[in-house]
Amino acid sequence: MTANLSIPFETSKLFIGGEWVDPVDGEVVSSIDPSLGRGWAMAPMGGAADIDRAVARAEEALSGPWSRWSVIERSNLLRRIARLCLENADQLAELESRDNGMPIKDARTSVANIANFYNYFASLADTLTGSQLPVDPNIHAYTQRVPAGVVGAIVAWNTPLQNTAWKVGPALATGCTLVIKPAEQTPISSLAMAAIFTEAGVPPGVINIVPGLGTLAGVRLVESERVNKIAFTGEHRTAQEIMRRGAANLKRLSFECGGKAPHIIFDDARLDQALNAALGSAFALTGQSCALGSRVLVQRSVYERVIEELARRAASIRVGVASDIKTQMGPQAHAAQLDKTLRYIGYGREDGARLVTGGARLNGNLQDGYFMQPTIFADVEPGMRIAQDEIFGPVCSIIPFGDEDEAVAIANGTQYGLVAGVWTENLGRAHRLSQRLRAGTVWVNTYRFVRWNIPYGGIGISGLGRENGPAALDPYLETKSTVVSLTSQFADPYPAG
């Protein structure tokens, strides 16, 4: 099947070595539209042999003409990718929306934004400086930053195109080559990017795309001794398994994992704005983002008011099929994720939280898709399962607190440490909490402000390393030292008599 794009691509074939090829030991399956609960495109699932083919081509490309490209050429390549993303934004957004259930209006915004990430990494390509090391007048010692090698990029299913950009950008800027394994649930939009990479002039083998099951294709990619670095976005238990399996050849690793973000609202906050952010941070992407504020911590003096207002607003969210421009919240991306959300709603009830609104799967004309009601629990205790575990669904837990110390204790009382939000008009409090909160990013009087030049990543089981910003290049680079004698003299170590 060839999609109806201005740049055509093959949805049922793998992209290896610059060519569309059939899986060798995988299969072609139906990719499910979560709005409809049925297949909409055929997609390839590569196996171990397909990963081996892709890694071999990436390794060949690493030592081929690509290794001699100048930083200006790599920078211009990334800018061409950015331009083509914008030129094909409508089609890419349609594919992203169809494959993972993201509302079309959100998908259009997301796709238009990824061009900024490619352009940003293009601007970093010529910033990779080494240093000259003063040692001795007769010695010239210097360092270079060189590509880490072949990168295995494992992309999550919640925002595939953004995930891809966050890995392809720094890899190409530093001169690495890639094997991308999109999630088996959402392979189509990632495959479409192969056509854009080709049109932009990416040399054959520099980027290869092999969708497949994590237990087959993913394991092979991680265990391959010819893969030098793994960049992974997904669940922390998978990251832990990657660390174990990648230990054989001491792979470089970077992980962006889950979160259970606290969104802290003090009674001196601009409550109307805080409520806007809390609602958006709970239900954007149907709750399927690790950066969402799924724990809303509210100071007791405004606690009941916040509950009442959030419940009223949540009940009015327009839930519908992703293709409808009026839809504000789409379906869960796949059936297993819907089942997990329903299971945790059951846990919330069992543990004694107060269900304020939602709590059920939607029926009627949406019964075939994976649709959930926006759900809010109040009177949630910090130790409850819905307050400790990442649900990845439209479930918001509201937790009361008294003062700063209690808010910080609750906020830091999980294994996660990705992001946090604080709403207060007290400047000193804002800075105090920023220092005390265990999170890679703290947003004050805003939320989900993610940009290409701001480092993004987590603490603890929320991740390893940073994506975006100059620090994003570090995991894709090795430091090489060169020492040159200016005299070409070396003393005889064993002089006679």
Active site residue 290: yes
Candidate list 85, 176, 257, 290, residue with the active-site label:
290
Active site residue 85: no
Cα–Cα distance, 57 to 49 (Å, whole number): 13
What secondary structure, in 3-state letters, does 31-83 show? EEECCCCEEEEEEEECCHHHHHHHHHHHHHHHCCHHHHCCHHHHHHHHHHHHH
Cα–Cα distance, 263 to 273 (Å, whole number): 13
22 CB neighbour count, 10 Å cutoff: 13
Active site residue 390: no
Are 377 and 395 a contacting pair, CB within 8 Å? yes
Using CA of residue 157, residue 418, residue 279, residue 113, what is the dihedral sign? Answer: negative
Interacting residues of 405 by C-beta distance below 8 A, sequence separation 6+: none
Are 385 and 353 a contacting pair, CB within 8 Å? no
Q: Between 188-200 and 71-87, two packed helices, what is the crossing angle to 10 degrees?
A: 130
404: three-class secondary structure by DSSP: helix
Candidate list 167, 181, 251, 260, residue with the active-site label:
167
Active site residue 309: no
Candidate list 59, 94, 96, 256, residue with the active-site label:
256
Candidate list 10, 59, 223, 467, residue with the active-site label:
467
> What type of residue is 226?
R
The residues carrying an active-site annotation are 167, 256, 290, 467
